[in-house]
Chain A
Amino acid sequence: MLFSSLPFLFYFLPIVLILYFIVPKSLKNVVLLASSLFFYGWGEPKYVILMIVSILLGYIFGLLIEKYLNTKKAKVFVILSIVINLLILAYFKYVDFFIGSFNSITGLSIPFLKVSLPVGISFYTFQILSYTIDVYKNQIKAQRNLINLATYIAMFPQLIAGPIVRYADIENQLTKRNHTFAKISEGIKRFSIGLAKKVLLANLLGEVISYYTKTTDPSVIYSWLSALCYSLQIFFDFSGYSDMAIGLGKIFGFDFMENFNYPFISKTITEFWRRWHISLGNWFRDYLYIPCGGNRVSTLRWLINIFIVWFATGFWHGASYNFILWGLFYGFLLVIEKLFTYNYLDSRPLIGHLYVIFITILGFGLFNATDLSTLGLQLANMFALSDIPLLSYETIYYLRSYGVIIIISLIASTPLLKTIVSKLKENEKIKLFIDLVEPLVYVGLFIIVVAYLVDGSFNPFLYFRF
């Protein structure tokens, strides 16, 4: 089920909210868990069983690891937990990729298994892994209450596209959490903003990309326009989802970690990745990079560690070579920055910003490429290496038609508006006015979003495929 769908907004959510707030505290997690499983099963009922099996494995391994903590058995159980979870992920996400690669190398033609990807498997598998590893590291206590652990893993606000919530971060909130007007108000605000980002910006930017992919009137500027729109679309799509997840979490009394912090204002790629999909970056840092030795090793080993992490980051995003190349592309850039250019870029904001925007647009071109020939054609178009004009009639049309949305998107991808509002709020009278108007803006945004949903349009969440 999509957050940005009418069944979610006007059937699922109100029923869950009512049930959640009328049941006693002791049953709130039961309501959350039951609704989460229903939410997950909405699109793919058969994979609810897979999720329950994953939860049970996480639960049992957590208890076993704790029971045998500081013994070899604990190590065996944590390795087993990691291997089993990764095998599940490998089978459901990567098996056909492996078969295809094996066929290419050997010339065989082993038939594909055509396994459909369970939605959100990459996210909840990583949550389970972090849980069992943290128990093994004795950083958290194993959860004895199966309902509570299942609620953590399956909680619908962040189940499908993150943020990847650490058990340690919400361990206490699973049993003791506050439901205050402040938190609910903040939750409503974040949810409304996220929904608007998704429906009013990401979806509309996606329309430009879909026109470009079908165009019979290409141009160099059109290819840059499409690449820019894709970068913005994926940002608003994913950060919009994270906002909605964080907002819903707050309404239900949880504090999930922030997942985005205006990544497009970065001056270096290093900074970009501190601001983009923060929960994934942290996960790989804590559970892969540092266990590999991090930077406290020889230079060669350190470089290898970086490439391992970025290979994994790319591969996590999808079972395809373009994602691996995308990850390694960033790994390479990060190594160059760490060795040579970081200080230079960091001290020259204009050059740094332009560099990050340029790299990001190219990077997402690689991310979006279905195959290398498509990528080659896209790059040839962008750099005027193919036989297309600089500008075309269709390009002008879509620039005119989507110009306002692109400008709004560019502004919304920076903290400009937030800064202006904060400055204005320093004046008491203006603050009062803003306080009065702000909720009306959320209501207005919500009604416009509903209008777009009722009218029916392009609506898939990009990050659901990961």
Chain B
Amino acid sequence: MKEKIKNIYTVILCSLVFFSIVIANFLTPYKEYSDAERRYLTKKPKLTTENILNNSWTSDFEKYTQDQFFQREFFRLIKANTAYNIFHNLDNNGLYHVNSFLSKIEYPSNEFMWQHATDLFNKISSELFDERNNIYYSIIPDKNYYLAKNNGYLYLDYNKCFNFLREHLLTMQEIEIADLLKLEDFYYTDTHWKQQNLEKILQKFAESMNFKISTSFVEKSLDVNFYGVYVGQSALNLPAEKINYLTNKVIENAKVSYLTDNGYIQKEMYDFNKANGKDGYQFFLSGNQAIITIENKNCENDKELIIFRDSFGSSLCPLFTEGYKKITIIDIRYINSTALKDYISNAGQDVLFLYSTLLINNSLSLK
């Protein structure tokens, strides 16, 4: 090819591609929310003298251009595929996939976070409870416990973490569940475990905490496509999963109340509206809630249980319903533990701290 023709061809081709993206980018309509990433996208910053002089406008504008870019998801897909398939990065933004299981590296171990969590649990325990209460804790290993080490990915030092908690939660009785779970008990594309696989876990808690579960569960399936939290983060095109759930008469007849700004309101144990929402896992106990109570009037005993939990608890806690007359489920990410005195009083309840290693290793959100 003659040099002149080659140069013209290069300039025209590159200019066409470049200006096409420029124009498409200008014409791309503003988008408020990213379903894939489950977050609000950056708005165009307002131009003021103050934010120009302190440089905040330019940095905000850069974020805006990233968030509102033409075919953003498509470009993120290109990036993910380049990282995995061309550069052979083992992870992309910490996300890795093995045999259809998608997970996010949780590394390194953060003892400062463990200390924060155990200090807080001990503080709550000593301020709200006494010798009348049986206090338990149980740590849920995240998916990486079953996936990362065997496949050569970075992983938390789980044994060190479990030992640290044992040494620092001396007044509590540990309920070990790590060996009862396996990789298949987790969703392929989500952080969480599958409720339908948790009966063995429930039995372990029942034995350790001395309550009875005699009514069997019925497994039902939701007619919705569930995309786990890692699908959007990874930008990969992955198949949808199904959410199955366990129910029975006891669960259906239980009275479930959620604390709101206007006091407690009664809702369902399983939130079918949220199953269709941005995060299908919020189907269980409506997702993020500060305090929920489950009352089982037909309970054969007067035992009560207080559970401090993270999102893993949303699917497990409903299964405890038969064992207690009242269960209070508290998420201290959404209510400060210093305010709990206004909502619970010590009546010798059983107490369970139920947290995943993900939260223990990132515990600053616990208040």
Contacts and interface: CB of A to CB of B under 8 A. Distances in A.
A95 to B, nearest CB: 21
Nearest to B74: A451
Contact of B79 (A5, A397, A454): A454
Contacts of A348: none
Interface in B36-78: 52-53, 55, 58, 61-62, 65-66, 69, 72, 75-76, 78
Given A43-B58, A401-B89, A454-B66, A216 B109 contact: yes
Contact of B75 (A396, A400, A438, A455): A455
B82 A448 contact: yes
Residue among A439, A447, A452 with the highest chain B CB neighbour number at 10 A? A439
A14 B18 contact: yes
Nearest to B149: A393
Interface string A180-224: 111011101100100000000000100000000011110000000
Given A10-B25, A45-B53, A450 B75 contact: yes
A24 interface: no
Interface residues of B, number: 46
B209 to A, nearest CB: 36
Contacts of B154: 393-394, 397
Residue among A6, A192, A204, A456 with the highest chain B CB neighbour number at 10 A? A6
A454 B55 contact: no
A308 to B, nearest CB: 38
Contact of B72 (A45, A397, A448, A454): A454
B167 to A, nearest CB: 19
Contacts of A1: 58
Interface stretch (A80-88, A377-385, A402-410): A402-410
Given A6-B69, A450-B21, A188 B1 contact: no
A204 B87 contact: yes
Nearest to B25: A10
A76 interface: no
Nearest to A455: B79
B10 to A, nearest CB: 4
A181 B88 CA distance: 37
Interface string A148-183: 000000000000000000000000000000001110
Contacts of A371: none
A442 interface: yes
A216 B108 contact: yes
B153 A397 contact: yes
B27 interface: no
Given A45-B53, A216-B108, A447 B1 contact: no
Nearest to A394: B154
A-B pairs with lowest CB-CB distance, top 3 = A185-B7, A451-B78, A451-B79
Given A185-B6, A217-B108, A443-B17, 6 more contacts: A7-B61, A14-B18, A43-B55, A405-B87, A436-B9, A453-B66
Interface of B: 1, 3-4, 6-11, 13-14, 17-19, 21-22, 25, 52-53, 55, 58, 61-62, 65-66, 69, 72, 75-76, 78-80, 82, 86-91, 93, 108-109, 152-154, 235
Interface of A: 1, 5-7, 10-11, 14, 42-46, 180-182, 184-186, 188-189, 192, 204, 214-217, 393-394, 396-397, 400-405, 408, 431-432, 435-436, 438-440, 442-443, 446-448, 450-456
